[in-house]
Amino acid sequence: MKKSSLAAITLSVAMCLLIACGGGSSHKEQKSATTNTPSEEPAAANPSYDPKRGEGKFDESNVKVGPLNTAMAAKGKTTAETKCFSCHKTSAEKLVGPGWKGVTARKTPHWIMNFVTNPDPMIDKDPEVQAQLEICLVRMPNQNLTEDEARNILEFMRQNDGAK
Amino acid sequence: MSVNKILAAALCLSVTWFTSCKPKGSGNAVGADAAAKTYVAPGKYDELYNFVSGGFSGQLSVYGIPSGRLLRVIPVFSADPEKGWGYSEETKPMLNTSHGYVPWDDLHHVEMSMTDGVADGKWVFVNGNNTPRLARIDLKTFRTAEIIELPNSAGNHSSPFGTENSEYIVAGTRFSVPPDGDKSDVPIKTYKENFKGHISFVSIDKNTGAMDLAFQLKTPGVNFDLARAGKGKSHDWFFFSCYNTEQANTLLEVNASKRDKDFIMAVNWKKAEEYVKAGKGVKQAVTYAHNTFDEATQTAKSEMKKEVTVLDVAAFPDLVYFIPCPKSPHGCDVDPTGEYIVGSGKLAALLPVFSYDKIQAAIAAKSFEPEKYAGVPVIKYEAALYGEVQKPGLGPLHTEFDGKGNAYTSFFVSSEVVKWNIKDLKVLDRQPTYYSVGHLMIPGGNTKKPYGKYLIAYNKITKDRYLPTGPELSQSAQLYDISGDKMQLILDYPTIGEPHYAQAVPAELIKDKQLKIFDINANKHPYKANGEAEAKVVRQGTTVHVYLTTIRSHLTPDNIEGVQLGDEVYFHVTNLEQDWDVPHGFAIKGANNSELLIMPGETTTLKWVPDRIGVFPIYCTDFCSALHQEMSGYVRVSPKGSNVPITFGLGDK
Ligand SMILES: [Cu+2]
């Protein structure tokens, strides 16, 4: 609190100086005054990110896949109709986002679970998602999927990819 | 810390230098460390939410304090094309009244819902002064959830003020009028015989907030200005200021200012409640609208109600008492203990402070004036009076409290805020306002527990305070730090409309309860499209229903044909997003109502009647993604009887 009020005063003074000097080189002061503002860590500064796992609640221990559960897959499809198919086709064809065909071969189950429930930080950090963003230009929205909804969608993706 | 001080001093110098060229005297009240006290750094939250009357804009504005940043304008009584409020099919019923659709009002006062005499952050109540209405805003969604019209009323000014647990929100008529009905066509000069005041008691459901016009008090014909409920020991009582006790019906400027004293009306509302429960009220046939917004269907309905229960106060000797109060009292404010009632005679040169205990003793001892006023006992002035603040200023209007034994009163004529001690009635400090202050507000200053750190003055005239903007300048709010002995002006900021009263509460009370999206699976709108597979166009005679969806960055369908001249087209737009702060807009060329702004998970409907043949672009108005400009489509309109079939699609679908 004290720190921020100090920063506030510094900034105000800097602004006054800026006015008083008719816009001289007060770049330095301004910069130092804004170091307090919270900012997201850039991707490069985040070596702890694991592109095989993604970021979120899920890993190998809590996402297990076995023989296809068709009931779960059917529920996943219903949810996807409301929340996903506006932007994704079940074929390989790109719509707004990439097509779903083959996604379960390209990505681990827990990566998919993390990405669909926690897209924002992964869009910022995951190199492959970043590359995808350059193609799609639309950040995948957080559709507020519950854990069950996400798991059912994963099951539907597996069915879509021919899992038995 | 020493660095801090030096910097503050430097800042102080620069502020002084900047203000030295202002008109004489106008910089004096500015606190030296004003900038540090009001600066909220980028990315930081304000300490308080401030709900401010939008006056004749009919809306409620929300500011952050201490920054004075405008956070939101909530449409209430006035149609707002930006948000589709009053234009979408779902919200049109909210502005319905017994006079039909009234798309504007004059919003004056703001009251937060309370529990145990302290704001609980659930709802905000506001009044419509013109076509008498009371509205409830839900603080989960920052949307108007309910509007109720008030019969037998005209100029709902003495409103909305609530009891300690929001048992009732009251609404007193400013203009007395003949009661509604077929006997209301009377000569205006028969005011004294035929005009009556009505005070509405609207009960509030503790859990849902639902409003119900429980009963009305019929009073002698006077003008009711403001009101406050008692607190603590005075919990059962309500106090209303009244002027025009002369009962003048013309040139009120002169004729309503003749008497030396008008009244504060003290009402034992618990008694009134008992009488109503005992069936003592008279049922009167009236017509008033009650409009409610259903969050599940996201649709409002307007119901016309036909009856109200009325208690004539003159018929119940222990229900209502008048207390003489000098010269047209405006504010009538109860201190945090519930003992002191401050009357502000706006034409008086003193401030009377009444004592609740003395009022009770006077009633018990029947210390009344020899003559009743229109059948109502009048308590002797001295018998109710605690004391008077002498020469406080000119034109006292409103008083708030800091919870430390001090009161703060606004003075319109002398443009100042005056701090005085309630016990010894001595003036402690006075600071100028710029200019002609009306209401003032201390966060929680009307409650049992004031948050005595800031005071905000709401000013009527702002000449020379801002860059000039033609003949009209924005009204202003001025923020004072009142944590020390002397008030310090620390910020000046423009407001929307003309601000009257306001309320403020710590941000924590509200910010974590915010609804971020509407759950699309809970959406019960009858025209919802649950995903793009359900998007479609359906013709029913000359009505065309378009079930349309939005998601970044396309509309589905985006090519529509088969609409004909003479059709009424309803675009039911469902926003499929489930992400916070991603509304989509919907607009069509030539729409003579408004755009829509659809929240995540919500369905909203725009009615469109094409006026010519051709192809009409539709598009999203709210910049939503890098491909927002691509979020568009076309509707083709053919002549009446054309053989172009209804078709719709998106891409190859
Ligand atoms: Cu959009």
| Element (DSSP H or E) covering residue B13 | helix B2-19
Q: Is residue B14 part of a domain?
A: no
Q: Output the pLDDT for position B613.
A: 98
Domain that holds residue A99: 70-161
Q: Among B478, B509, B540, where does a domain finish?
A: B509
Q: Is residue A154 part of a domain?
A: yes
Q: What is the CATH number of the domain that holds B639?
A: 2.60.40.420
Chain B residues within an 8 Å CB radius of A139: 625
Tell me, what's the ipTM?
0.70
Q: Output the pLDDT for position B347.
A: 81
Q: Is residue B125 part of a domain?
A: yes
Name, in order, each residue with C-beta under 8 angstroms of B407's C-beta and a sequence gap of 6 or more: B333, B335, B342, B399, B400, B401, B419, B420, B421, B422
Cα separation, B7 vs B198, whole angstroms: 58
Cα B360 → chain centroid:
33
Q: Is residue A48 part of a domain?
A: no
Q: Is residue B467 part of a domain?
A: yes
CB A143 to CB B577 under 8 A? Answer: yes
Name, in order, each residue with C-beta under 8 angstroms of B113's C-beta and a sequence gap of 6 or more: B119, B120, B121, B122, B123, B124, B125, B162, B166, B204, B209
Are B482 and B534 in the same domain?
Answer: no
What residue type is B114 in one-letter code?
M
Q: Is residue B36 part of a domain?
A: no
| B27 pLDDT above the threshold of 70 | no
**What value does the mean pLDDT take over residues B480-497?**
95
Are B472 and B565 in the same domain?
Answer: no
Q: Is residue A77 part of a domain?
A: yes
B604-616 tens-digit pLDDT: 999 999 999 999 9
Are B496 and B620 in the same domain?
Answer: no
Residue B142 in tokens: 């920052």
Secondary structure class of B60 (helix, strand, coil):
strand
Chain B residues within an 8 Å CB radius of A156: none
Q: Which of A38, A86, A139 sits opposite B551 (nearest CB)?
A: A86
Residue B187 in tokens: 């000569």
CB A13 to CB B7 under 8 A? Answer: yes
| A34 pLDDT above the threshold of 50 | no
Interface probe, candidates A4, A6, A12, chain B, greatest B C-beta count within 10 A? A12
Closest alpha carbon to B32 in B19, B17, B55, B15? B15
* Residue scoring higher pLDDT (A15 or A113): A113
Which 3-state string (H, E, C) describes B183-228? Answer: CCCCCHHHHHHHCEEEEEEEEECCCCCCEEEEEEEEEECCEEEEEE
**What value does the mean pLDDT take over residues B291-298?**
96
Among the residue ranges B1-15, B363-377, B383-397, the one predicted with the least confidence is B1-15
Q: Output the pLDDT for position B180.
A: 96
Interface probe, candidates A82, A123, A132, chain B, greatest B C-beta count within 10 A? A82
CB A13 to CB B577 under 8 A? Answer: no
Q: Is residue A54 part of a domain?
A: no
Q: Among B453, B488, B509, where does a domain finish?
A: B509
* Residue scoring higher pLDDT (A42 or B503): B503
Q: Is residue B41 part of a domain?
A: no
Among the residue ranges A37-46, A81-90, B588-597, the one predicted with the least confidence is A37-46
**What value does the mean pLDDT take over residues B222-234?**
97
DSSP E strands in B511-612: the ranges are 536-540, 543-551, 554-556, 559-564, 568-575, 584-588, 596-598, 603-608
Are B218 and B239 in the same domain?
Answer: yes
Q: Is residue A147 part of a domain?
A: yes
Model confidence band, residue A40 (pLDDT cutoffs 50, 70, 90) = very low
* Residue scoring higher pLDDT (B629 or A9): B629
Instruction: Work out the minimum CA distance from A163 to partner chain B, whole angstroms.
Output: 25
Q: What spacing in Å lies between the alpha carbon of B628 and ligand 1's midpoint?
A: 5
Instruction: Work out the minimum CA distance from B580 to partner chain A, whole angstroms.
Output: 8
Chain A residues within an 8 Å CB radius of B14: 13, 16, 20
Q: What spacing in Å lies between the alpha carbon of B585 and ligand 1's midpoint?
A: 6
| A1 pLDDT above the threshold of 50 | no
Cα B4 → chain centroid:
41
Cα separation, B440 vs B462, whole angstroms: 16
Q: Output the pLDDT for position B32.
A: 78
Q: What is the CATH number of the domain that holds A77?
A: 1.10.760.10
**What value does the mean pLDDT take over residues B253-271?**
90
Q: Is residue A25 part of a domain?
A: no
How many Cβ atoms are within 10 Å of B113's Cβ, its own excluded? 21
**What value does the mean pLDDT take over residues B446-458?**
96
Q: What one-character-per-residue DSSP string does A52-98 give?
A: TT-SSS--TTT----S--HHHHHHHHHHHHHHTTTTB-SSS-BSSS-
Q: What is the CATH number of the domain that holds B93?
A: 2.130.10.10
CA end-to-end distance (rounded Å), chain B? 67
Are B500 and B556 in the same domain?
Answer: no
Cα separation, B563 vs B618, whole angstroms: 14
Dihedrals φ, ψ of A114, to 5°? Answer: -65, -45
Q: Is residue B32 part of a domain?
A: no
Q: Closest residue of A to B650, CA-based?
A: A86
Residue B405 in tokens: 């034994």
Chain B residues within an 8 Å CB radius of A6: 3-4, 7
Counting the structural domains of chain B, the total is 2
B313-359 tens-digit pLDDT: 999 999 999 999 998 889 999 999 999 999 988 888 899 999 999 99
Dihedrals φ, ψ of B501, to 5°? Answer: -80, 170
Q: Output the pLDDT for position B3.
A: 42
A127-158 tens-digit pLDDT: 999 998 988 888 898 999 999 999 999 999 99
Model confidence band, residue A8 (pLDDT cutoffs 50, 70, 90) = very low
How many Cβ atoms are within 10 Å of B197's Cβ, its own excluded? 29
Look at strands B614-619 and B502-506 and give their pairing: unpaired
Domain that holds residue B77: 48-509
Are B336 and B369 in the same domain?
Answer: yes
* Geometric angle at alpha carbon A27, from A23 and A30, rounded to 5°: 105
Please check whether residue A35 touches B, CB under 8 A: no
C-alpha distances in Å from residue B565, one per residue of B544, B557, B560, B568: 11, 20, 14, 9
Among the residue ranges A6-15, B32-41, B234-243, the one predicted with the least confidence is A6-15
Please check whether residue A123 touches B, CB under 8 A: no
How many Cβ atoms are within 10 Å of B48's Cβ, its own excluded? 24
Are B311 and B170 in the same domain?
Answer: yes
Closest alpha carbon to B535 in B486, B571, B506, B505? B571
B381-437 tens-digit pLDDT: 999 999 999 999 999 999 999 999 999 999 999 999 999 999 999 999 999 999 999
Q: Is residue B310 part of a domain?
A: yes
Counting the structural domains of chain A, the total is 1
| A116 pLDDT above the threshold of 80 | yes
Q: Which of B14, B41, B582 sits opposite A8 (nearest CB)?
A: B41
Chain A residues within an 8 Å CB radius of B38: none
Q: What is the mean pLDDT of chain A?
A: 79
Dihedrals φ, ψ of B445, to 5°? Answer: -70, -10
Are B422 and B552 in the same domain?
Answer: no
B65-109 tens-digit pLDDT: 999 999 999 999 999 999 999 999 999 999 999 999 999 999 999
Instruction: Work out the minimum CA distance from B570 to partner chain A, whole angstroms.
Output: 22
Are B414 and B541 in the same domain?
Answer: no
Instruction: Work out the minimum CA distance from A2 to partner chain B, whole angstroms.
Output: 9
Cα separation, B109 vs B87, whole angstroms: 25
Q: Is residue A125 part of a domain?
A: yes
Cβ burial B226-265 (10 Å sphere, 16+ → b, else e)? bbbbbbeebbebbbbbbbbbbbbbeeeeeebbeeebbbbb
Report the predicted TM-score, pTM, of the whole model to 2 decimal places.
Answer: 0.88
Name, in order, each residue with C-beta under 8 angstroms of A81's C-beta and a sequence gap of 6 or more: B530, B531, B532, B533
Cα separation, B510 vs B87, whole angstroms: 28
**What value does the mean pLDDT take over residues B27-49?**
88
Name, in order, each residue with C-beta under 8 angstroms of B610's C-beta and a sequence gap of 6 or more: B563, B565, B567, B569, B590, B616, B635, B637
Q: Output the pLDDT for position B566.
A: 97
Q: Output the pLDDT for position A46.
A: 65
Q: Output the pLDDT for position B28.
A: 57
| B542 pLDDT above the threshold of 50 | yes
Q: Which of A36, A138, A145 sits opposite B625 (nearest CB)?
A: A138
Are B436 and B566 in the same domain?
Answer: no
**Do residues B262 and B327 make contact, with C-beta atoms less than 8 angstroms apart?**
yes
CB A138 to CB B521 under 8 A? Answer: no
**Do residues B457 and B434 make contact, with C-beta atoms less than 8 angstroms apart?**
no
Are B505 and B524 in the same domain?
Answer: no
Q: Output the pLDDT for position A25.
A: 38
Closest alpha carbon to B374 in B322, B438, B427? B322
Cβ burial B528-538 (10 Å sphere, 16+ → b, else e)? bbbbbeebebe
**Do residues B290 and B305 make contact, with C-beta atoms less than 8 angstroms apart?**
yes
Chain A residues within an 8 Å CB radius of B556: 86
**Do residues B584 and B598 make contact, with C-beta atoms less than 8 angstroms apart?**
yes
Q: What is the mean pLDDT of chain B?
A: 93
Q: What spacing in Å lies between the alpha carbon of B582 and ligand 1's midpoint?
A: 8
Secondary structure class of B609 (helix, strand, coil):
coil
In chain A, DSSP finds a helix count (H) and a strand count (E) of 8, 0
Q: What spacing in Å lies between the alpha carbon of B340 and ligand 1's midpoint?
A: 55
| B2 pLDDT above the threshold of 50 | no
Model confidence band, residue B626 (pLDDT cutoffs 50, 70, 90) = confident
Model confidence band, residue B653 (pLDDT cutoffs 50, 70, 90) = low
Q: Output the pLDDT for position A136.
A: 85
Are B542 and B501 in the same domain?
Answer: no
| Element (DSSP H or E) covering residue B459 | strand B454-459
B124-137 tens-digit pLDDT: 999 999 999 999 99
| A20 pLDDT above the threshold of 80 | no
Q: Is residue B94 part of a domain?
A: yes
